[in-house]
Structure 1
């Protein structure tokens, strides 16, 4: 009798693990697109940080990301159980915030380029940076990255929850927790590797092997370009992810885009769909920025 019960228990555990494995794979595939955006966004967040402080900053953001998911996973389960209608509006608010941050980054970049053309403005900027407290600068970087991570983590959790919503509660908890842990370790492990490419290149250039020196020289030349590319891609990702969340939340608009791109090839349909997300994201971000500036002016503050 005891042996029969043990076999039954083992069979149930095997079935549970099999279900978790299948749903986990589906969830990982569904969240892959967001992971790419998450990676590019967070890799560019450490720009401007001193080389010896890059890894501590990445670690600080990673800890914030774990905390985000520690909050989001139980919160998502509670909302799904008691107020599932809240998930979409909350995601749309997060998407609008992401678009707002994207517009701010574009405007800041344009202002920065304008200042770089003026020697006086450039000198003023350098003087300001020299006077800035490095610890405060790092904290601002980490806080900004953790805020952005919160929105992306929320989308990853929401996507995963949508896949496992019909599964038993234990499966939901295990899959959500597993995806959250794997995503955070994977993303910030790769980010840490990206930001240390230049250090690897410098180390290789000091080797006696000519091949190692050549590879090191290439990495040293490639690292600044990679960070510039990630900065651009990260900003675009804000509009793509934020716009995509808003489009999915507006069901008629989502169906309209699907209808218009339904008869097109996969690549063309994807480009048009992402293009619509990008444009809508920029428009929404601009509107939010105007509202924020208007409120700030009414309160007598500058943004």
Structure 2
């Protein structure tokens, strides 16, 4: 089946004229006539009756026109949808992040610039976020301390430092210069799971400094750590970009080496030039000071 022939027939059926059909399709009138003649000859059927004043559909032509109108109507819808997506008027972006604090300003920038874009955001720990990106379950991801690897495009965002999280009435909350990491030796602490990036950075810094905190609880979310600290179960740790505004707790800087985390945005290299991904990657640096 020749789609060019069907498209020519559909245009004539819609316009009721070979001349207007040619204008609609941006081809010559003889080309339209040739396509329809070839269609009729191939299937040994008469689809149109040509008179001096107008073009009329035969009974078979009416039946075929109902089919082609639906068929090419869907094609036109697809073209409109794809063109809108190309211009970033519509589209869907799958985003993963290992925390909400950095990604939310980016999404606000995206919404302001491209209000027709729908975003699906999945939050998880660092390992889950990287896995989602590498398996291409998401288009882009906000990541922490990911090493460069083949096939992965990474762009730096900023750095954060690990801070101690203490109850609001804790004596350390008044120390504007922070505490030394050695002050956490044998301190009862409530921490994220060992696979957490913040926990891993903290553990490595403690090992390097010869500090051994007493871990009372291991929790699987920042929110749980905040609640545990607020309940005075122990001291927690949190990245400086993720400090809660909860009045029950206070973040205190920790002075020491190896307490910095690098945050970045990433996508798969082979998809980096897709318009929606490229637009989001371009907006990201503008949303982080």
TM-score, normalising length: structure 1:
0.20
**Greater relative contact order: 1 or 2 (C-alpha under 8 angstroms, separation 6 or more)?**
1
> Which is higher, the Rg of structure 1 or of structure 2?
2
